[in-house]
Amino acid sequence: MARKKNSQCRKSVKKRAGGAGKNGDAGAAANGNTGITTGRPSGTSKKGGGNPSDAGPIPNLFWGAVSMDELRASPRFVGLPECTQPQTPLPCPAAARYLRQDSPEWRQLHTGILTTGILKEALGLREPMAARVVGGRKESCHSPLLAAFQHLQQPPLLPPPLRDTKQEATWRRRAVRGLLRFALQRQKLLEQQQVQHRCQQQVQRHGQEQRGLERQSHGQEGQEQRQQQQQQQEGHQGQDLDAAVDADAEPESESGAEGQWADHHAQLFLFFLTFQWLLETVFSIRWRGRDR
């Protein structure tokens, strides 16, 4: 509620201030003080002051009257570009009569003609279509005006209209044939591009398959070499064990009964160790079965 009251108070203050000026002017006129005014003059604006003689419906012809020599002498003067005739985007000029007006070929053929379809583009206004065709969307920049000038100076590529119906029919046939040839050429180019793309894909796939096969063959060869090395190592280990067993089994010729008795004790000790190991394994297996 407090905020509403404050806003209402401000509005009332503004109204009183405006009314005071008007009432003051009226009171001054009534009292005879016509020279003293408290309000704004009739020719000035609210935002920025100015001389009322500078504004009005009649323009000042002497304001800004600068000759072309003075303009060319200025360092910021930009001259108009030279006109270049564009290339015809169609096989024959008569084919332009059968194009859609929203196509880029139609716009390229109508560059030198100011029609209702491209009026805004030729004037260089701030619109997306004008920015695409003319170029430049800044009002302070001179590039849209230069582009519009160049756009209008280009000669039209359309042939003159024919009055004879027979000649018009022949031109129409030629145009249709040219358009068909142009479409066939485009189709052939597209097919060739597709075939080249497919061939490149096949070559890439073949190369990838060959690389995969080479990797697999290298992997198989490496595995075979590893297996052979493992077999050789196992064979060497077996030979070493056989040699050790043979050395242990051969009795010394010089030893007597004491050597035989020592061998007998060693065999008994080995038998005892193996028996103990068997018992431990059996008991461990049983305990595991009970835990499960």
pLDDT at 181: 80
pLDDT at 27: 47
* Residues in the chain with pLDDT values less than 50: 1-2, 17, 20-41, 43-44, 48, 86, 252, 254
Q: What's the CA gap between 19 and 37, in Å, rounded? A: 14
pLDDT at 68: 76
Q: For residues 287 and 279, is the Cβ–Cβ distance under 8 A?
A: no
Q: What's the CA gap between 251 and 273, in Å, rounded? A: 23
pLDDT at 160: 65
pLDDT at 136: 56
Q: What's the CA gap between 25 and 45, in Å, rounded? A: 18
Token pair of 14, please? 């503004």
How far is residue 183 from each of residues 97, 186, 249, 252, 261, measured CA to CA in Å? 17, 5, 98, 105, 110
pLDDT at 20: 47
Q: What's the CA gap between 145 and 178, in Å, rounded? A: 36
pLDDT at 34: 46
Question: Cβ neighbours of residue 252 under 8 Å, at least 6 residues apart?
Answer: 259
All structural domains of the chain with their residue ranges: 79-161, 166-229
Q: For residues 25 and 39, is the Cβ–Cβ distance under 8 A?
A: yes
Q: Cα angle vertex 40, ends 38, 43, to 5°?
A: 145
pLDDT at 242: 66
pLDDT digits (tens, 9 = 90+) for 31-59: 444 444 444 445 445 554 555 555 556 65
Q: What is the 3-state secondary structure (H, E, C) of 41-68?
A: CCCCCCCCCCCHHHCCCCCCCCCCCCCH
Q: What's the CA gap between 67 and 120, in Å, rounded? A: 29
First-to-last alpha carbon distance for the chain, in angstroms, is 82
pLDDT digits (tens, 9 = 90+) for 248-260: 555 545 455 666 7
